[in-house]
Amino acid sequence: MRTKPYVLLLSTLLVLLGLAPGAQAAENGEWAVYPAASKLGGRPYFYLSADPGSTLTDRVTVANKTAAPLTFRLYGADAYNTDRDGGFAVRTQREKQTGAGAWIKPERTRITVPARSAVTVPYTLTVPADADPGDHPGALVALDERIAPGAKGSVAVGVQRAVGARVYLRVNGPTVPALAVEDLALDQDRPLVPGTRTSSALVSYTLHNLGNVTLNPKVVLKARGLFGRTLLDRDLVGVPAELLPRQKIRLTERWTGSPQLDWGDVTLTATAKDVQESGTVSFLALPWLAAAVLVTGGAAGLYGLRIRRRRAPVETPGEA
């Protein structure tokens, strides 16, 4: 009997870090992680501020919603924007933590939560004396110790799931919001014969948070054709709600119905926290068939001009 190789994915399969509907907790239906209730009531996330060199204390609650006990690894993690859509995600336990994830120390790193119960664990967050001022987002993560079966196949895959409560930490000091629009590009898709189908264009761009605070960018895409005609004026909706410090993401926007015959510019403007940056790229929309005719006609014209010059008689000095 042959046994299947077993692979454990040490990275989390799913990390839920947003608010669940009607509840102030990050959860996946089986367990939830959230700030312990304070005198001021429930908190959706940890909002903390500290001076360099100081230590904060707080508490995190892990709630088990299943009918059996669950055991978790509890750890701090740095946050980042995902490449896929710029969503809020956190580092796995095995990845190196350099910010809030390295500074968070739970009182217990392994907890067992009884069925339909909750356990609250104190933790400390110690900010290094040389920490850079600004935002250092992270999370307190509860990683399920169970290994769930993955997709069937020749290689058996096991996955571990995790849920984390966001930590928004600001280290006191100068804050510098800065944003850049980089590598704006336009890729056009036009029919060979004008009018036979709808043309489109794919606008690609990079948003780069160059500052030390989290930004909530708003992006507007505009296109102008010949004589300044407005071809497109759109507020983009696929922009992440939060662009974390020192993070950059590559995004795209489809422009359906782009011109098949025009010449102009596409401008993308990003605005966030009193900063505004733009990028512009020019375009020439010319049907491929028309372009081929123009190129062929131009080449034929140049060739004919050269032939005429060769055949033209050459005058000799002194001839009448």
How many angstroms separate the Cα of 13 from the Cα of each of 66, 92, 148, 319? 19, 10, 10, 92
- Are 206 and 182 in contact by the 8 Å Cβ rule? The answer is yes
Q: Could you give the domains of the chain?
A: 24-171 (2.60.40.10), 179-286 (2.60.40.10)
* pLDDT tens-digit readout, 109-156: 999 999 999 999 999 999 999 999 999 999 999 999 888 765 555 555
Answer yes or no: is pLDDT of 285 > 90. Answer: no
* pLDDT tens-digit readout, 294-305: 445 445 455 456
Answer yes or no: is pLDDT of 318 > 80. Answer: no
Distance CA 73, CA 238 (A): 34
> For 125, phi and psi rounded to 5 degrees?
-130, 110
- Between 20-34, 55-69, 127-141, the lowest mean confidence (pLDDT) is in 20-34
Distance CA 3, CA 5 (A): 7
pLDDT of residue 218: 97
User: Which pTM does this prediction carry?
Assistant: 0.80
- Are 65 and 33 in contact by the 8 Å Cβ rule? The answer is no
